[in-house]
Structure 1
Amino acid sequence: MSSSPTSPAIAVVGLGYVGLPLAVVLAKHFPVVGFDIDRGRVEELQQGDDRTREIEAERLKASSLRLSSDPADLPGQAIYIVTVPTPVDEQNVPDLKPVRSASRTVGQALKTKAAPGAIVVYESTVYPGVTEDICGPILEELSGLKCGRDFFLGYSPERINPGDKVHTVDKITKVVAGQTPEVAAKLADMYGRITSGGIHLAPNIKTAEAAKVIENAQRDINIAFINEIAMIFGKLGISTHDVLEAAGTKWNFLKFQPGLVGGHCIGVDPYYLAHRAEELGHHARIILSGRAINDGMSQYVAETVSARVKPGAKILVLGLTFKEDVPDLRNSKVADLVNALTKLGHSVAIHDPLADAQEAEHEYGLMLSPRLDQLAGFDAVLAAVPHDPYRAIDDATLARLVVPGGLVADLKGIWRGRTLPKNVNYWIL
């Protein structure tokens, strides 16, 4: 596909859960180069293998997307879209190293060859001000060009939900903001061609940045409330799920479920907003309280399960990824749960049919059991992640996995309503 004023050449920088689906959809309408610094990742994609399972092999092989790990393929693009991760460090302080590095890469590309009026768009979740106050100056420094004259900034927050095949990038409403009204209009046209969900033009970049960061902070706070009431109702001997079903009959009740909150979005993004608030002299009490509750759930679950089993119990944890039916291990709170159970003196085995065993060992030092059918005789079975294969486990398999008098611990209620053997105890969060 050749480039034209109505078909600008585009580079997507970062080919993870966000960048790859975006690049594939864009490539249906524009000439697109997808760039990632991970050569192994690019080589896998060139063979049609997407380890994130977001894009099927046939779809990837049929795409006109040009894949590269060579920065020499980046100069001369009309639009650069940065989709790199924005994690936090061990102290929960925003780690902007990936977005700074990507900005340097794009800045060098602009220096080598800048298309007239090139636009650099950020989709990475950040606190308000990062695009203009941090990324813009890096682009200027590396390119030797003037932001707002030689190149321009834009922001369009990603809304990828890993594993979600309904709310895909070509169906969602896209929030778009540009450094100038003209830039915003160009970006609205570009994104408008790839999504049927419409475009929302934010008045400025900081507003668009803020909109994204509060989307996940809001969910985090709501889940924290449900987690807290789960702790309260547990002490009262009331089923949280029964309570939520009853309350959910009211038309405006928000339906959230208790559980572990990990991953690279909900468990991370609120810290970005809280960090910026602290810089401005405001202590983000509600945001940080929600984070404290959700970050403490792994320890709470570990202690609750430990109190229901014998000392030194053998426990099987089912699931390690941060959410159901995805292979993503980033910021897995199940890993924290396993470590907490181990510190409480228990012997823990882990199984996950979707997680990569080498990644689990590299990231968390945890070994995965390869086959569930070879496991049996545990004092407790803890369903941590509601993968479809675990939902489908039959009563006979459960009876094999847990010893008589043992415990079935069900974090997400996937076996709620099952008829378990009378000599098996059942606990649900």
Structure 2
Amino acid sequence: MSEQVQLSSVGKELLEKITNRQATIGVVGLGYVGLPLAVEKAKAGYKVIGFDVQEKRTDMVNQGINYIGDVVDEELKEIVADKKLAATTDYSKIKDVDAVAICVPTPLDIYQQPDTSYVESSGKEIAKYLHKGMLVVLESTTYPGTTEEVLKPILEGSGLKCGEDFFLAYSPERVDPGNKHYNTKNTPKVVGGITPACTAIASELYSSVLEGDVHQVSSPAVAEMEKILENTFRHINIALANEMAILCNKMGIDVWEVIDAAATKPYGFMPFYPGPGLGGHCIPIDPFYLTWKAREYNYHTRLIELAGEINNSMPEFVVNKAMYALNGEGKALRGSKIAVLGVAYKKDIDDVRESPALPIIETLYNEGAELFVCDPHVKSFRSCGMVMETVELTEQVLEDADLVIITTDHTAFDYEMISKSDKVVFDTRNALKNYEKPKKYVKL
């Protein structure tokens, strides 16, 4: 920590607890972000208390039962057995922690506006038990200004002053489910505090836990905007890839071959790939936090909204192309048997949030198709107003289908078997790139 940062007496005491691993750390929200973070903090030697409103989650954690793909089962069992990690629905235990990270959802409401209710309710619970010498870090992705304009007033409602009595910072989560190379521990962290003291103390905590670098910025708003920029960058470039796919389809050009050729350039180009649409809790949602906030400054984020229109249109494009493929076989969509391979939003994970497969499935179902949904990572999911069960991908499923649509390129799928199918195979992910192509093969 920089020697120039002036700390209050309670700040110095908290910093010493962090340095000596004597601090008790709280994590509010034990989902895809919170549980991996809680595990890493416990592995670093801290006593960790996880908070969640879902009793099922807290019970599973206390039994050492893992439900998040990026957490190692054995590590969770070990730290729970060693009493390094415990979970509870009782928020009064926040009084026992020295630092707490807020990792709750920040969805969009029905009007496509930010819903910060989970952040606000978490802040109110923390404010009830906030004490001197406590660090609060918001990790949930949100619009610039949330930490200072929403969370800080709630916490200061306790009568304590930020930067002197307690410390508040924003450090955006960087989680890529299923990524085999980068995880919570080795991904660099960005930290921006309300005051330099807040930034310094939060940075010290993350430095003691993570292997990745900790990059300090001048304010929470910079860190909040940085996170939005990350996801908007991907959102827009994926939209470009999707638009290229639509155009190449009309021109009879293989967009995947085009992208592979462009990727040979060692500078000035980064490959992004088309697909059936955007999924997950981040990329389809986060850019619209900025769109909403921009209206406060009388600015219209045209590029972001146009990218959203393109990406949101991809499921419809897939369904239309599926209909044309069936027409080529002399069959109508209504009454056809369609095998949909993959309901998770990306390969090798079980997360179906905002999955583009869902609107595809719903449209096909509503148009009268008979569906067989296969996903080795998802046993059931909600769509079409009901809970739908997945089935195992077998030769019989392929034989019974009039059309096979690959919507998620899970590694576990038997692509060799799929490539030998004599039915129409519509590959939206270029999953069969390295396999012999089926006789009736359609690409995005």
1:371 matched residue in structure 2: 392
Work out whether 1:124 is the aligned partner of 2:140: yes
Equivalent-residue separation in structure 2 for 1:214 and 1:364 (angstroms)? 35
| Corresponding residue SS for 1:120 | strand
Deviation of 1:159 after TM superposition, in Å, equals 0.5
Equivalent-residue separation in structure 2 for 1:256 and 1:248 (angstroms)? 9
1:106 matched residue in structure 2: 126
Select 1:90's aligned residue among 99, 110, 124: 110
What residue identity is the alignment partner of 1:118? M
Contact 2:190 2:215 (8 Å CA) reproduced: yes
Contact 1:335 1:364 (8 Å CA) reproduced: no
Equivalent-residue separation in structure 1 for 2:18 and 2:141 (angstroms)? 29
Deviation of 1:5 after TM superposition, in Å, equals 5.5
What residue identity is the alignment partner of 1:26? K
Correspondences of 1:389-428 after superposition (within 5 Å): 389-390=412-413, 392-395=414-417, 397=418, 399=420, 404=422, 406-422=423-439, 425-428=440-443
Correspondences of 1:156-167 after superposition (within 5 Å): 156-167=171-182
What residue identity is the alignment partner of 1:305? A
CA RMSD of aligned residues (A): 1.9
Contact 1:11 1:77 (8 Å CA) reproduced: yes
Aligned residues: 413
What residue identity is the alignment partner of 1:268? I
Per the alignment, do residues 140 and 352 of structure 1 end up closer, same or farther by CA in structure 2, a change over 3 Å counting? Answer: same
- Where in structure 1 do 4 or more consecutive aligned residues deviate above 4 Å? none
Per the alignment, do residues 356 and 144 of structure 1 end up closer, same or farther by CA in structure 2, a change over 3 Å counting? Answer: farther
1:79 matched residue in structure 2: 99
Contact 1:384 1:410 (8 Å CA) reproduced: yes
Deviation of 1:326 after TM superposition, in Å, equals 0.7
| Corresponding residue SS for 1:372 | coil
1:266 matched residue in structure 2: 283
Provide structure 2 residue ranges, at least 5 long, that are not aligned to the other structure: 1-15
Equivalent-residue separation in structure 1 for 2:434 and 2:92 (angstroms)? 58
Deviation of 1:66 after TM superposition, in Å, equals 2.0
Per the alignment, do residues 31 and 220 of structure 1 end up closer, same or farther by CA in structure 2, a change over 3 Å counting? Answer: same
Equivalent-residue separation in structure 1 for 2:387 and 2:443 (angstroms)? 25
| Corresponding residue SS for 1:74 | helix
Cα displacement string for residues 78-127 of structure 1 (whole angstroms, at most 9, x for unaligned residues): 211101111112332111121112111211221xxx1x231211010011
Cα displacement string for residues 17-52 of structure 1 (whole angstroms, at most 9, x for unaligned residues): 111111111112322211111110111122222222
Deviation of 1:285 after TM superposition, in Å, equals 0.2
Per the alignment, do residues 91 and 299 of structure 1 end up closer, same or farther by CA in structure 2, a change over 3 Å counting? Answer: farther
1:13 matched residue in structure 2: 28
What residue identity is the alignment partner of 1:86? T
Equivalent-residue separation in structure 2 for 1:314 and 1:229 (angstroms)? 30
Select 1:188's aligned residue among 198, 203, 210: 203
| Corresponding residue SS for 2:412 | helix
Work out whether 1:280 is the aligned partner of 2:297: yes
Q: Which moved more, 1:247-256 or 1:368-377?
A: 368-377
What residue identity is the alignment partner of 1:382? I
Question: TM-score, with normalisation over the residues of structure 2?
Answer: 0.89
| Corresponding residue SS for 2:35 | helix
Correspondences of 1:129-140 after superposition (within 5 Å): 129-140=145-156
Provide structure 1 residue ranges, at least 5 long, that are not aligned to the other structure: none
State the identity %: 37
Question: TM-score, with normalisation over the residues of structure 1?
Answer: 0.92
Equivalent-residue separation in structure 1 for 2:118 and 2:357 (angstroms)? 25
1:350 matched residue in structure 2: 373
| Corresponding residue SS for 1:4 | helix
Cα displacement string for residues 345-397 of structure 1 (whole angstroms, at most 9, x for unaligned residues): 4222211111141xx1379635123322352311100010011112x3323x5
Deviation of 1:421 after TM superposition, in Å, equals 4.9
Correspondences of 1:239-318 after superposition (within 5 Å): 239-252=254-267, 253-259=269-275, 260-309=277-326, 310-311=331-332, 312=334, 313-318=336-341
Deviation of 1:235 after TM superposition, in Å, equals 0.3
Contact 2:419 2:435 (8 Å CA) reproduced: no
1:211 matched residue in structure 2: 226
Contact 1:52 1:328 (8 Å CA) reproduced: no
| Corresponding residue SS for 1:104 | helix
Deviation of 1:233 after TM superposition, in Å, equals 0.2
Equivalent-residue separation in structure 1 for 2:415 and 2:220 (angstroms)? 48
Contact 1:316 1:380 (8 Å CA) reproduced: yes
| Corresponding residue SS for 1:159 | coil
Select 1:341's aligned residue among 364, 375, 389: 364
Contact 2:325 2:424 (8 Å CA) reproduced: yes
2:65 matched residue in structure 1: 49
